[in-house]
Amino acid sequence: MSAPLHRRIYADLESRILSGELAPGDRIPFEHELTARYGCSRMTVSKAIGELAGRGLVTRRRRAGTFVAQPKAHAAVLAIPDLRAEVQARGQTYGYALLARVERAPADAEEAELAAGGRLLDLTCLHRADQAPFALERRLIALNAAPEAALVDFKAVPPGSWLLESAPWTEAENRIAAVEADAATARLLERAPGAACLCVERRTWRDGQGVTRVWQTFPGDRYDLVARFSSAHAEDQSR
């Protein structure tokens, strides 16, 4: 049975948004343009756009039209970094090694929620800056959300870089903690056991479906997080 027409319109627009063809801030076609394109009623188009708005993918502006929304993130002051690009932007030579790759079933309830009935790709890799360890990364990728990942040679391309280019996200969550390096982590980061490290745990979703969960552990003296913002009070006064 074919999907209802409003779901086809929704899926077509969603695909254009998540692929980047329609970027944040772009106006999507007016409702009368979509009714002509799909040969349907205005109500059908309005229902599709309403579902996109409900998912946070578009925002409606009275008399102006409907526009692609900015991606949502629980920690808005932190972007999702591409470690390869970040190291290179610092003027350092980037290095990368894949340490382990396993495709497997979820092992617990949290992993099962991420996998959503599918399998997980479990990756461990080490990022370097000027040959010195920069970050130890452990990443889970939900193959239901990003099936192409099963075919990618992650010995050649870092998973974070590939995901940013190939598996768009609509929502993200960052958690940051100061940790002490255990023996295995300390050895890979070339630090003493118990050395201070910064661990960034990140989860991303696409339209409510989990895409990836990653833990990136940085030597405490080689990485910091900086956010610059203004107070809401100052912004209110400037209006």
pLDDT at residue 224 in the model:
63
Tallying the residues shown for the chain, one arrives at 239
Q: Has this prediction a pTM greater than 0.85?
A: no
One domain, residues 63 and 87: no
Buried b (16+ CB within 10 A) or exposed e, 26-54: eebbebeebbeebebeeebbebbbebbee
Quote the distance between the C-alpha of residue 45 and its chain's center: 29
- CB burial class (10 A; 0-12, 13-18, 19+) of residue 91? exposed
In-domain check, residue 90: yes
Say what percent of the chain tops pLDDT 90. Answer: 51
Q: Are residues 96 and 181 in the same domain?
A: yes
Domain that holds residue 137: 83-219
Tally of domains in the chain: 2
88 with 173, same domain: the answer is: yes
CA–CA dist 238, 232 (Å, integer): 10
Quick: pLDDT tens for 101-157. 999 999 999 999 999 999 999 999 999 999 999 999 999 999 999 999 999 999 999
The predicted model gives 21-47 an average pLDDT of: 91
Same domain for 136 and 189, yes or no, is yes
224 inside domain? no
Mean pLDDT of the chain: 85
Residue 65 and residue 89 in one domain: no
Tell me which of 71 and 173 has the higher pLDDT: 173
Give the model confidence (pLDDT) of 172-229 as tens digits: 888 888 999 999 999 999 999 999 999 999 999 987 889 999 999 999 866 665 555 5
- What's the pLDDT at 218? 93
Please indicate, yes or no, if residue 235 is contained in any of the structural domains: no
